[in-house]
């Protein structure tokens, strides 16, 4: 059974502070996002995929996540991000 995971940044025992640069429009640095993509706890990946402004390569990895909800959220995010960039 997976222990309960606190949301990113709320529990110092589970999360370390990052000092990397965060690109405009994103919530976290690329290195942290890629680390969270590989997290063993599906709840962490579900929290990640629901964030706004994820980089395309992060979403591409989440598209093939073994968890159905994660991959569906990523698919939806890819579609909405793609259509928003095409309109602008």
In this prediction the pTM is: 0.72
Please check whether residue 61 lies inside any domain of the structure: yes
Distance between CA atoms of residues 59 and 54, nearest Å: 7
- Does residue 22 sit within a domain? no
Is position 11 within any domain?
no
Residue 15 is assigned to a structural domain of this protein: no
Number of domains composing the chain: 1
* 41 exposure class (CB count in 10 Å sphere: 0-12, 13-18, 19+): middle
pLDDT at 48: 93
Does 8 map to a domain? no
Residue 38 domain flag: yes
- What is the full per-residue pLDDT of the chain (88 aa) written as tens digits? 455 666 666 776 766 778 899 888 888 899 999 999 999 999 999 999 999 889 999 999 999 999 999 999 999 999 875 434 434 4
Q: Which domain holds residue 77?
A: 30-87
């Amino acid at each position: 059974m997976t222990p309960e995971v606190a949301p990113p940044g709320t529990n110092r025992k589970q999360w370390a502070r990052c000092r990397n640069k965060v690109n405009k429009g994103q919530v976290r640095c690329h290195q942290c996002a890629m680390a969270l993509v590989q997290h063993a706890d599906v709840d962490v990946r579900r929290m990640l995929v629901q964030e706004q402004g994820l980089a395309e390569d992060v979403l591409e990895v989440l598209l093939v996540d073994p968890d159905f909800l994660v991959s569906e959220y990523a698919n939806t995010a890819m579609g909405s991000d793609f259509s928003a960039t095409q309109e602008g």
